[in-house]
Amino acid sequence: MSDNKSVLLQTIQSSYLNPDGADVWFVFDGDRVPGHKFLLTGLSPWLNITFNSSLPETGNVDMTNSQVTVAAFKEFLQFFYMDDVTLTMENIEGVIHFAKQSLSKDVFTKCEQFLIKSFTMDKIFYGHQLALLYEADALKAFCEDEICVNAEATFKSSSFLDFPYSMLLTILKFDSLVCEEKDIFDACIAWAKAACDRNQKDSKILENLRAQLDDLIYQIRFSSMTVDKATECIRSCRGLFTAAEMEEIMCMVNRKLDFIEKKFNWTPRYYNPKSGRGNQLLCSRYSSSDKTNDEYNPRGSEKITFTCNRRVVLNGFYYECSGFDGESFTVTITEAKSENVTERYNQEVTFDYGSGLELTMIL
């Protein structure tokens, strides 16, 4: 039985792009791609409709208006013939576009998985654009997670200055960019100067700079800055803000919540590990009145799990237990896998009883 299955798989794979036995041809401008209805039927709603409609006797399917290249379509067809599919970054947009267009859910999912495994920080913006364009939820979640966790690298990447306004605005609305807010402000100014150059405007004229920034400036979270940092931003671009805006900025950094005419986003970013600011949550393993450390025997192993509904930074943990001097134990910290997030962090640390461990890590 296994031999027969192997022969069948080899036959199917050998049929890929093979004109022998082809009974349908996908016709592009100047190119014809062979297909086999007995293999393709039932694998895509679009293919089913195509094959069940009045297919001409020639077996030709006109692809000239499909908005997909020949190379991308060939990669798309691989999914139905080959056991091991080869995708390329050059053609992936065409493949995922056609997978969405043809309602091929399995192909679409595999395209998402390929993109998630292939992206670098310089390509993450491109991935996020694809995710929004094709409503790829898993890809969108991955890209946004990477952008937030690696915010510093994001704003320093080679592609950042060429980023479209709409995408930068989307990123600035994220509440969990893990970097200094002053760095975000500086990155936006650098982006605005590059935008001025692209539009042949003098970036030394603040009116031109402000025109490029437009509403982006209102997404700078001055509420996450100290007074000194906010002052640096204002002094570095004298004339960028109106008097009313500077008044609001000062109210934000001084936590004057009764300010009425708000234009800026007053929501602070989530905990910033650099500045040490933000709300801190202390979790005690034995905080209840019916248990104490003396009642707990730490020998052996124990697993502690917690969940949260927003991004957090695990600042560290402290273990103190008397009577075990000279002994050591190992702690493994792992971010659990979820539907859209792969395992990001796994660290094993060994230290002595009675000592504290200070760690800073992004989850």
Domain ranges of the chain: 2-118, 149-253, 293-362
Mean local confidence (pLDDT), 220-240 = 92
- pLDDT at residue 306 is higher than 80: no
Q: Any idea what DSSP says for residue 62?
A: E
Mean local confidence (pLDDT), 195-217 = 94
Paired with 361 in beta bridges are: 314
Which pLDDT score, from 0 to 100, does residue 246 have? 92
Which pLDDT score, from 0 to 100, does residue 360 have? 40
Q: Which of 346, 349, 348 is nearest to 362 (CA)?
A: 346
- pLDDT at residue 327 is higher than 80: no
* Architecture of the domain made up of 2-118: 2-Layer Sandwich (3.30)
Percent of the residues in the chain that have a pLDDT greater than 90, as a whole number: 34
Query: What pLDDT digit, counting tens, does each position of 54-76 carry?
Result: 666 667 888 888 888 999 999 99
Q: 126 pLDDT band (50/70/90 cuts)? A: confident
Q: 33 pLDDT band (50/70/90 cuts)? A: very high
| Cα angle value 359/361/363 (rounded, 5°) | 140
Return d(Cα 109, Cα 343) in angstroms, integer.
19
> What is the sign, positive or negative, of the torsion defined by CA atoms of 129, 133, 136, 141?
positive
**Residue with the larger pLDDT of the pair 333 and 75:** 75
Query: What type of residue sits at position 338?
Result: S
Return d(Cα 359, Cα 318) in angstroms, integer.
10
* Architecture of the domain made up of 149-253: Alpha Horseshoe (1.25)
Mean local confidence (pLDDT), 190-204 = 95
Query: SS3 for 301?
Result: coil
- pLDDT at residue 287 is higher than 50: no
- pLDDT at residue 196 is higher than 90: yes
- pLDDT at residue 272 is higher than 60: no
Helical segments of 61-164, H only: 70-81, 92-101, 105-118, 124-134, 137-149, 151-156
Q: Does residue 303 contact residue 352 with C-beta atoms inside 8 Å?
A: no
Which pLDDT score, from 0 to 100, does residue 4 have? 57
Which of 173-177, 312-316, 321-325 shows the highest mean pLDDT?
173-177
Which pLDDT score, from 0 to 100, does residue 3 have? 61
Q: Does residue 272 contact residue 278 with C-beta atoms inside 8 Å?
A: yes
pTM flag (> 0.75):
no
How many CB atoms sit inside 10 A of residue 106's CB?
12
Mean pLDDT of all residues belonging to the chain: 79
Structure-block tokens of residue 263: 């234009």
Which pLDDT score, from 0 to 100, does residue 341 have? 47
Q: 261 pLDDT band (50/70/90 cuts)? A: confident
**Residue with the larger pLDDT of the pair 52 and 114:** 114
Which pLDDT score, from 0 to 100, does residue 266 have? 92
**Residue with the larger pLDDT of the pair 357 and 74:** 74
Return d(Cα 295, Cα 308) in angstroms, integer.
28
